[in-house]
Structure 1
Amino acid sequence: MSANAPGGIRLGLGQNIAQFTLLVAINALVGGTLGQERTVLPLLADQVFHLDLYTSALTYIVAFGLAKAATNYFAGTLSDRYGRKPVLVAGWLIAVPVPLMLIFGPSWGWIVAANVILGISQGLTWSTTVMMKMDLVGPNRRGLAMGFNEAAGYLGVAGTALATGYIAAEYGLRPGPFLLGAAFIALGLGLSVLFVRETHGHAKVEARSHVSVHAHAGSDLTSRQVFTLTSFRDRSLSSVSQAGMVNNLNDGLAWGLFPLLFAAAGLSIESIGILAAVYPAVWGAGQLITGGLSDRIGRKRLIVGGMIVQAVALGLVAAGSSFGIWLVAAVLLGAGTAMVYPTLLAAIGDVAHPAWRARSVGIYRLWRDGGFAVGAVLSGLLADAFGIPAAVAVVAALTAASGLVVAVRMRGDDHTPRTRTAAAG
């Protein structure tokens, strides 16, 4: 699909391929900035700061999740008011002190504070790259756009998790792994300042011809109405919001406890790094397929199926005790998440009017990334009381239940699958 408007603004992937590709690369750097922690920080908590309670060790994920969730909400509002690019640049600037705090922090409080700052940065940068790609491509290829966006981000997470595992094994847990994060921040900031162009005008062009899929989803909603609609009132938007929260609940568990579970089983840092990388790598690469697939077959089946696959994978982690079993589980967990992640974002875009889409995406991401904090607290308490395998099993059951909620509550007709004719545009 393409559309022309005064000022030369055109909607469509082909029409905006240069900016789209640049934003994909920038989101890979956003993901890499997060990935610097995935392998190293749980081991830092255990081996350097000697935190003996899982709940205490996971405080950095709670801090990150709460900060990112809240910032997601404001990112949507700010980008509607001031434009997308200023919010993106601000997010990179905020991230600048994070690697230094992780390298030189003398106490665990410094690590937690660094993750508050990182959460704010990620909320601004990742949210904005989502919105900008939605702006550029228009409605017909939104799933594909989200697939590329999330694939780039989580391949960045995976590649950095793997690299930092090897760096830590060779040179120690600090400072080497975090120097990679510093380089990503510098590169991301430079590209965003010098080469990214504003895309808010594209959303305004789309809004002129947008037809709301439901009467309650018109253009003239207040921020409070957008919040209640996205969170509770709309069957599809609320289903997507709870599924996103549970998805990141189990990701918070994987981030914080999996490395400790693997280390307790005697795996080397290199092996832990491989497992920490395989899950987001499959997740990232899989989205290159699932994003576009959701444009063709619809959103609901992929979301329900993906949550069930994740639940099966978590069950394998809970039952397993060897590298081979955990490797299979990591692949399945990544595949299930790939089915869900870009599809949830595209489903928001199907219902939300372009006039308030950025706010709705921000609210969805508030709930979704709040799952990091919920997952860290819940899994930490369960692990302290009953052990890590029991915590993983409980989260597996919650993930399956979330998929069933989507199956029962979400509408199946919000998105009209692309035809061959539309695909050619």
Structure 2
Amino acid sequence: MPTKTYGRIMHPSFERVLDRDLKLIFTSNLVGSFGDGLYAYLLPYYMKENLKANSVEIGILYALTSLTAAVTLLLAGAIADKYDRKKIMIAGWLVWVPAPMIFSIAKNWIQMLPGMILWGFWLGGPTTTAYIVTSADKNRLTLTFTIISSSWSLGYIFSPAIGGYLAGKVGMEAVFYASFILYALAGSILAFMSSQHASTSQQKTSTCPSTKELLKNRKLIRMSAFFASIMFVIMMFRPLVPQFLADAYYYGDFEIGVLGSIAFFGSAVLGTILGRVGDKWGKEYALAASMASCSTSLIMMLLTGNLYVLMAAFFLAGASYITWPLMSAIIGPQAPEPIRARWISIPQTISMFASTIAPYVGGV
């Protein structure tokens, strides 16, 4: 993509769509995801080689992380409608801060458990979604979500390679320390945001349903099931792609890592484009386009192992990372403001449970 074209797509959108608070969220996510990417890609290898954990033990650790994420989404939804959303978002980063330090001192897989539990805490899920929906320009809501989501992808583009380089030169402890600092910095950046509380006037809250009643809301449950099915399909294949490339086409770690970086780059670019599509023609069209992009990428991967074709396929596969922000853009505005985070947490939790199960089904 020519530089001028890419600049027209990215830069004006960032300046016009994100206000000061949303730019701080973008920056925080970029810093935190870079810190996360330094070790996340290497962690299973570290567990196996340094801690002598077998595949079952590694699976237990990651399953525990996923289960914690699903449970804490509901918790975050409940407290984000009662307290300052800014503080909960900061807490979401701070609870991650000890995790890499625990990993650095662990001598076996059992000692990794506290860190993996903390790493699974996802207080920012419904909280950030509710904050964005309340703050953003409603005419550019889809683009706002996809731009902010792209900050995660941008953070992950180079950090795995840098983390691997540092691990080889100075050891994994230094990588964990760097992640510790970046997590803390990500939380500190949010301290400069404006506070935000849910609208909780007595008249509004008296008409809002309880969590039990929300679980009986057919429209919400239908949407939850729909998005959970999408996440299930995506997560049924995405974690297995690296192994497929190694087994089917005999690619090594370097080539697989490069293709992964291309996927994150594709997510950032396609997210901005599909965000515009969603705001102009409808969020449903943006979601359909993202799924079509994922399907096309899979077909290309299955047809050939040519590296150049796979580079294009992985660029299109970046659309798989856009599904979550598109889901937030669709569901968020439908939620009543006094219970927005709690409302959003239900489809996010159900989708997270589906995402947890999917890789096991895909591997059968």
Q: Could you state the TM-score of these two structures normalised by the residue count of structure 2?
A: 0.81
Where do residues 331-350 of structure 1 align in structure 2 (5 Å cutoff)?
Answer: 331-338=315-322, 340-350=323-333
**C-alpha contact (below 8 Å) 2:84/2:197 kept by paired residues:** yes
What SS does the corresponding residue of 1:81 show, helix, strand or coil? coil
1:31 paired residue number: 33
2:100 paired residue number: 99
Q: Counterparts of 2:189 and 2:16 in 1: how far apart (Å)?
A: 21
Q: Counterparts of 1:63 and 1:311 in 2: how far apart (Å)?
A: 30
Q: Counterparts of 2:342 and 2:118 in 1: how far apart (Å)?
A: 22
What SS does the corresponding residue of 2:294 show, helix, strand or coil? helix
1:133 paired residue number: 132
> Any unmatched runs of 5+ in structure 1?
1-12, 209-217, 383-425
Alignment CA distance shift 1:329-1:346 (3 Å): same
2:197 paired residue number: 200
Where do residues 153-192 of structure 1 align in structure 2 (5 Å cutoff)?
Answer: 153-171=152-170, 174-192=172-190
Within the alignment, does 1:365 sit opposite 2:348 as a pair?
yes
**C-alpha contact (below 8 Å) 2:233/2:358 kept by paired residues:** no
1:307 paired residue number: 291
**C-alpha contact (below 8 Å) 1:31/1:156 kept by paired residues:** yes
**C-alpha contact (below 8 Å) 1:144/1:292 kept by paired residues:** yes
**C-alpha contact (below 8 Å) 1:69/1:370 kept by paired residues:** yes
Alignment CA distance shift 1:287-1:117 (3 Å): same
1:254 is displaced (CA, Å) by 3.3
2:238 paired residue number: 254
2:145 paired residue number: 146
Query: Partner letter of residue 130 of structure 1?
Result: T
Q: Counterparts of 2:151 and 2:188 in 1: how far apart (Å)?
A: 18
**C-alpha contact (below 8 Å) 1:60/1:112 kept by paired residues:** yes
Alignment CA distance shift 1:14-1:100 (3 Å): same
Q: Counterparts of 2:254 and 2:21 in 1: how far apart (Å)?
A: 37
**C-alpha contact (below 8 Å) 2:18/2:144 kept by paired residues:** no
Within the alignment, does 1:377 sit opposite 2:363 as a pair?
no
Alignment CA distance shift 1:378-1:115 (3 Å): farther
Q: Counterparts of 1:111 and 1:322 in 2: how far apart (Å)?
A: 39
Query: Partner letter of residue 231 of structure 2?
Result: M
1:223 paired residue number: 211
User: Structure 1, residues 70-92: CA drift from partner, whole Å, max 9, x if none?
Assistant: 11111111010112022122222
1:187 is displaced (CA, Å) by 0.6
Within the alignment, does 1:356 sit opposite 2:335 as a pair?
no
Alignment CA distance shift 1:300-1:239 (3 Å): farther
Q: Counterparts of 1:237 and 1:200 in 2: how far apart (Å)?
A: 26
Alignment CA distance shift 1:228-1:26 (3 Å): farther
Alignment CA distance shift 1:47-1:376 (3 Å): farther
1:291 paired residue number: 275
Alignment CA distance shift 1:318-1:51 (3 Å): farther
> Any unmatched runs of 5+ in structure 2?
1-14
Task: Give the aligned length.
Answer: 347
- Give the superposed CA RMSD: 3.2
Mean Cα displacement is larger for which, 264-273 or 293-302?
264-273
Q: Counterparts of 2:35 and 2:354 in 1: how far apart (Å)?
A: 20
Query: Partner letter of residue 349 of structure 2?
Result: L
What SS does the corresponding residue of 1:356 show, helix, strand or coil? helix
Q: Counterparts of 2:170 and 2:133 in 1: how far apart (Å)?
A: 41
Alignment CA distance shift 1:144-1:200 (3 Å): farther
1:249 is displaced (CA, Å) by 2.2
Q: Counterparts of 2:314 and 2:114 in 1: how far apart (Å)?
A: 29
User: Structure 1, residues 161-210: CA drift from partner, whole Å, max 9, x if none?
Assistant: 343243345555x22433332121121122223x1221226x669x98xx
User: Structure 1, residues 294-326: CA drift from partner, whole Å, max 9, x if none?
Assistant: 111112222233224323434544565565454
1:273 is displaced (CA, Å) by 2.6
Alignment CA distance shift 1:323-1:17 (3 Å): same
Q: Matched residues, percent identical? A: 20
1:287 is displaced (CA, Å) by 1.4
Query: Partner letter of residue 300 of structure 1?
Result: E
Q: Could you state the TM-score of these two structures normalised by the residue count of structure 1?
A: 0.71
